[in-house]
Amino acid sequence: MHWDFQQLQDAARQEIESVTDAHSLESFRLKYLGKKGLVADIFLSLASASAAEKGAIGKGANDLRHLVTALITDKQKKVSSQQRPGSHRIDVTMPGAVPNLGHRHILTQTTEEICQVFEKLGFVLEEGPEVETEFNNFTGLNIPIDHPSRDAFDTFYLQASDLTAKGRKLLLRSHTSPGQVRVMTAHKPPLAVIIPGRVYRPDAVDASHSFMFHQIEGLLVDKNIKFSDLKGLLTEFCRRFFGPSVKMRFRPHYFPFTEPSAEVDIAADIFKGTSRKPWLEILGCGMVNPKVFAVAGYPPGIYTGLAFGMGVERMAMLRHGIRDIRMFYENDVRFLNQF
């Protein structure tokens, strides 16, 4: 039998053009490469071919088979990409693209942890605004008009004045203590609150100062609250937060809104071998000054209260051995991811 291989190849090339889907591609494959397909027929014809013809027929059949196989492979790619637009083979065993999961900032974690300790002790969480009146930040807390902290060098004053409060000056709160004035003017004793938040002071930035940092204010007012309650509460807090072997000390101090007042220091092992002092101050505290009760309109002589304000950055530094406050705000993930 005579085969015109050139014509068969041309026909195959032409036919593949009209193949547009998997179904017609399979028909094409069967027609040429199937058990009863053309290539098989050609090989079968070898039996009746003369010895001289055999070589050419065998080569022609093989060439045709290779051509058709190549045409099919090529078409398969087009057909499958048409069937599932935009799709390609997915290797389900490949590791997926894992999105970078964020987590709460170390200062948020520390704030929450501190608040939780006090919440377990019965304190309620309150919040105050970062933009405060000069009254709540200073006057209501018995901070006299000539007190150095009122100076513009120590407080960020805003150009705008408080329209709701007869043109009183506004500022970025320099501590969370104005929360005390807000809570006491809104609520009668007994009360126990903690007020976390950001505070602002125009300090020059260095390893232990920032123009913005975080504090947590605490206030407990009732009948018969004593200085020993303040000491006991803060000692218990420090044991829960830093562990039972924490070394702390109360040091007499002065604040206009508490009388008497103290500061609490924690033994700072993190500064061992540096020129920095071995104790780090973490909070100011005291017994609420009766003058502040008067601002809130509480009747004199009935209530006593304890108050404290602690620095969150310092708590985190002591807890985790961080020596430089600037690291909290640089947003370097190599630092942040450690917590």
Positions that interact with ligand DAH (CB under 6 A): 175, 177, 217, 255, 258, 261, 284-286, 307-309
Beta carbon nearer to ligand DAH, 65 or 261:
261
Query: In whole angstroms, how close is the CB of 263 to ligand DAH at the nearest point?
Result: 8
Beta carbon nearer to ligand DAH, 237 or 255:
255
Q: Are 161 and 179 in contact (CB under 8 A)?
A: no
Beta carbon nearer to ligand DAH, 155 or 258:
258
Beta carbon nearer to ligand DAH, 15 or 265:
265
Query: In whole angstroms, how close is the CB of 215 to ligand DAH at the nearest point?
Result: 6
Q: Which long-range contacts (CB under 8 A, 24 or more apart) does 297-303 make?
A: 297/185, 298/184, 298/188, 298/189, 298/221, 302/223, 303/189, 303/221, 303/222, 303/223, 303/225
Beta carbon nearer to ligand DAH, 113 or 259:
259
Query: In whole angstroms, how close is the CB of 294 to ligand DAH at the nearest point?
Result: 16
Q: Provide the token pair at 93.
A: 């065993």
Distance CA 31, CA 28 (A): 5
CA atoms within 13 A on the CB side of 296: 26
Beta carbon nearer to ligand DAH, 110 or 142:
142
Query: In whole angstroms, how close is the CB of 287 to ligand DAH at the nearest point?
Result: 8
Q: Are 190 and 221 in contact (CB under 8 A)?
A: yes
Query: In whole angstroms, how close is the CB of 308 to ligand DAH at the nearest point?
Result: 5
Distance CA 260, CA 275 (A): 32
Query: In whole angstroms, how close is the CB of 146 to ligand DAH at the nearest point?
Result: 18
Beta carbon nearer to ligand DAH, 32 or 138:
138
Distance CA 305, CA 6 (A): 106
Beta carbon nearer to ligand DAH, 64 or 288:
288
319 vs 101, 261, 270, 314, CA distance in Å? 24, 25, 9, 8
Distance CA 203, CA 301 (A): 39
Task: Provide, for the chain, the percentages of residues in helix, strand and coil under a 3-state DSSP scheme, each rounded to the nearest 5.
Answer: 45, 20, 35
Query: In whole angstroms, how close is the CB of 199 to ligand DAH at the nearest point?
Result: 7
Beta carbon nearer to ligand DAH, 111 or 261:
261
What do you get for the CA distance between the two ends of the chain, in Å? 83
SS3 295: helix
Query: In whole angstroms, how close is the CB of 261 to ligand DAH at the nearest point?
Result: 6
SS3 297: coil
Query: In whole angstroms, how close is the CB of 97 to ligand DAH at the nearest point?
Result: 46
Q: Which residues contact 71 (CB under 8 A, 6 or more apart)?
A: 12, 13, 16, 28
Q: Which residues contact 55 (CB under 8 A, 6 or more apart)?
A: none
